[in-house]
Structure 1
């Protein structure tokens, strides 16, 4: 590796390589050798920047989860526009891209990785939990606008939506769930709480 290359660039290179291996070959194929080979760097590069492979994987997961922020911000910004069902459908279809589903599979398949993540994130599964929190904040905004029933339990609705859409997305071999299927799930889950848009 050339001297003077910023650590952030190396991290991104390794993370991107890990993502490609994960998407192509699944969690069981993700090894330090597979990552460095995919990245085209020497085997020791990964261990110069991370304490061990599980530390690398934990940072990969947290980096990919951090990328949710923009999508969740966009969803919250849509409160009061369009319909609640359409806004949720668009967001959930976009959020459950193959890499996100693969990250969930990675976390659930590696005990040491889960244990390491628990040090800073004691509950839930990264990505799924973060998505549910974001969905709940959006539903709270819509409830404040009267587009969701005042007594709606958004803290139950949000993980229900996330879990149901995750079931649609799991094992799809690199494809996102179809928007129509997501919309059917969304409308079923929020059927009792969505309110008609107020007339201007």
Structure 2
């Protein structure tokens, strides 16, 4: 029997260095490590120096055109942004580039989802993902990057995240209810690492 390995997502990393940005190169190197941990094949890193982020597309129009050419030439599946994108920037980048775009926060939550083991840990990660994704849904709640699956859309236990607004709100309510039950039976002196870490991130 021949086993086939799941195809790695080919990714380009994108970062913007502002004048007051500290340790930018180190941050980009860390992003490479995070992307590989999530299972991506990092094809290239692309950066731009700016006075401020473009409110519409994060990077300037000229650099965006260059990035689009790279995405097409290198058959890129995913663009991973080193900064936290606004819903508008995320949507505009995906529309222009035609591929999935995720930011650093989504990448980190995706890694947490892969590594969550306990029932409570999985609930906490899933809750954090849903709360982060909800304001990023466009139209009727379908976002291009989530349709593609893979990195950025994995839920604990390898399930795909549900992307309907009403369904997400219902899931959030249900998970919060489940967590209250878990917290009641948990030992008071046990500190939950997932809770502390995710509260700092989201």
TM-score if structure 2 supplies the norm length? Answer: 0.35
Q: For the pair shown, which has the larger CA radius of gyration, 1 or 2? A: 1
Per residue, is there more helix in 1 or in 2? 1
- The normalised TM-score by structure 1 is 0.35
- Identify the structure with the greater strand proportion: 2
